[in-house]
Amino acid sequence: MNLWLLIVLFFITRFFFLAGFPHFYDGSEYLRLSLEKNYFLSLSHSHESIHPVYLFFSQIFQLFHFLTPEKNLSLISAIFGLIGVIVFYFLMKRLFNKNIAVLSLLPLIFFTGLEEYY
């Protein structure tokens, strides 16, 4: 199986099931901060554990009005999840072989609710 096919499958399964609400414990704060116009000012208004890269991307995505702000946050999470899946694939490929790497990705691709259980 081709890696690009797995990437497309992962993205499709995440894109059609984007949450329309902040689904993690500080998601509402990220949502509020992503709607501010000044990035550095929003960092100064947040608590210490806000992730600056995530906040930066959330404010960039707010400039494009193709999704609601809540879905933009979910899309950013899906993109970071996709990066994690790619890194996981190459790690498994290096440790084992390509077939094991592909098989280890299948649960991550098709079970979209796995992130709720860790």
Can you spell out the DSSP letters for 101-118?
Answer: HHHHHHHHHH-TTGGGG-
What is the pTM (predicted TM-score) of this model?
0.74
pLDDT above 50 for 6: yes
- Kindly state the helix (H) or strand (E) to which residue 69 belongs, with its residue range: helix 69-95
- When pLDDT is averaged across residues 12-27 and rounded to a whole number, the result is 73
Residue positions counted in the chain: 118
Share of the chain above pLDDT 90, in %: 8
**Which is it for the CA torsion 20, 13, 105, 72, positive or negative?**
negative
- Please report which confidence band the pLDDT of residue 96 belongs to, taking 50, 70 and 90 as the band edges: very high
Residue 16 dihedral angles phi and psi, to the nearest 5°: -75, -15
Tell the residue number behind the tokens 């993205």, with chain if given. Answer: 11
- The pLDDT tens digits of the residues spanning 33-77 come to 888 888 888 878 777 766 888 888 888 888 887 788 888 888 888
Helices and strands of the chain, counted as H and E runs: 6, 0
